[in-house]
């Protein structure tokens, strides 16, 4: 009699260090949010927009932590790093984190916002930069995974499928970044209103629902091919 695996056995269980690490992240994030609410007049206008940034941050950090990220040391790995850097730039540009500047003098300020959404680093002048924490961390995590995937794909023909899946799956966040930017990106919202009450309510309806969903799917697809 053949014993078939159960549905529960088909999914890998997270290792105890991973569970402890995630628990520590959640604890720190909860303390930061609680402290921010107590110290400011911020109000939680939308629970899902309060949680979305931590979905990006935690998944991105856990995914990078779960793969072996080699240091660029040869032509193949340097080429993979260049591809990943280009991909990160595309994400940053289409999402509004980086854009064309006014051409004026260099300015630098920090806009307070709810943890995850802020604090936002705003740079003006030759280049316009608005680094929203959760998008910045999420896109950097994606770029790191792309670097690993491209490096492995370049190692041989048999592993070329990894590179194909990586490229196809990574189109999602670019599309989501464009839609999010058109409907009202986080960087635009944070730059336009430097108050602590910004929780994405000023963005277009469902823009971050879509972008968060695609981000999760992309992280899952990359992790599945790289683990």
Angle, CA 208 vertex, CA 109 and CA 56 arms, to 5°: 70
For residue 106, being part of any structural domain is answered with: no
> In sequence order, what E strands does 20-117 have?
98-100, 107-111
For the entire predicted model, the pTM comes to 0.77
- In this structure, the number of other CB atoms found within 10 A of the CB of residue 94 comes to 21
Q: Write out the residue range of the structural domain in which residue 78 sits.
A: 13-97+114-120+131-226
Burial class (CB in 10 A: 0-12, 13-18, 19+), 167: middle
Beta carbons of 214 and 222 less than 8 angstroms apart? no
Q: Does residue 13 have a pLDDT over 90?
A: no
- In this structure, the number of other CB atoms found within 10 A of the CB of residue 125 comes to 14
The alpha-helical segments, DSSP class H, found in 67-159 are 75-95, 133-153
**Model pLDDT, residue 19:** 85
For residue 218, being part of any structural domain is answered with: yes
Distance in angstroms (rounded) separating the CA atoms of residues 108 and 100: 15
Under DSSP, the state recorded for 128 is E
Q: Does residue 20 have a pLDDT over 80?
A: yes
**pLDDT tens figures, 78-119:** 888 888 898 888 888 887 888 887 777 888 999 888 999 989
Indicate the number of domains in the chain.
Answer: 1
For residue 109, being part of any structural domain is answered with: no
For residue 24, being part of any structural domain is answered with: yes
**Model pLDDT, residue 212:** 85
Banded model confidence at residue 6, pLDDT cuts 50, 70, 90: low
**Model pLDDT, residue 5:** 56
Distance in angstroms (rounded) separating the CA atoms of residues 203 and 183: 6
For residue 125, being part of any structural domain is answered with: no
For residue 165, being part of any structural domain is answered with: yes
Q: Which residue has the higher pLDDT, 39 or 188?
A: 39
**pLDDT tens figures, 166-182:** 444 455 555 555 555 44
């Amino acid at each position: 009699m053949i014993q078939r695996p159960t549905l529960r056995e088909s999914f890998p269980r997270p290792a105890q260090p991973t569970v402890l690490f995630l628990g520590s992240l959640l604890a720190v994030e909860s303390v930061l949010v609680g402290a921010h609410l107590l110290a400011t007049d911020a109000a939680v206008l939308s629970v899902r927009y309060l949680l979305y940034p931590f979905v990006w941050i935690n998944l991105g950090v856990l995914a990078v932590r779960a793969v072996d990220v080699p240091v660029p040391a040869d032509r193949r790995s340097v080429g993979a790093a260049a591809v990943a850097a280009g991909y990160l730039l595309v994400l940053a540009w289409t999402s509004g984190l980086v854009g064309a500047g006014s051409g004026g003098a260099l300015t630098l300020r920090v806009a307070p916002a709810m943890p995850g959404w802020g604090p936002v680093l705003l740079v003006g002048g030759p280049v316009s930069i608005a680094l929203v924490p959760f998008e910045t961390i999420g896109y950097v995590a994606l770029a790191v995974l792309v670097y690993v995937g491209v490096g492995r794909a370049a190692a041989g023909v048999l592993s070329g499928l990894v590179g194909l899946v990586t490229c196809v799956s990574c189109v999602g966040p670019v599309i989501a970044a464009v839609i999010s930017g058109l409907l009202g990106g986080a960087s635009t919202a944070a730059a336009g209103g430097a108050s602590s009450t910004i929780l994405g309510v000023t963005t277009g309806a469902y823009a971050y629902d879509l972008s968060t969903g695609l981000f999760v799917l992309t992280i899952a697809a990359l992790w599945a091919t790289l683990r």
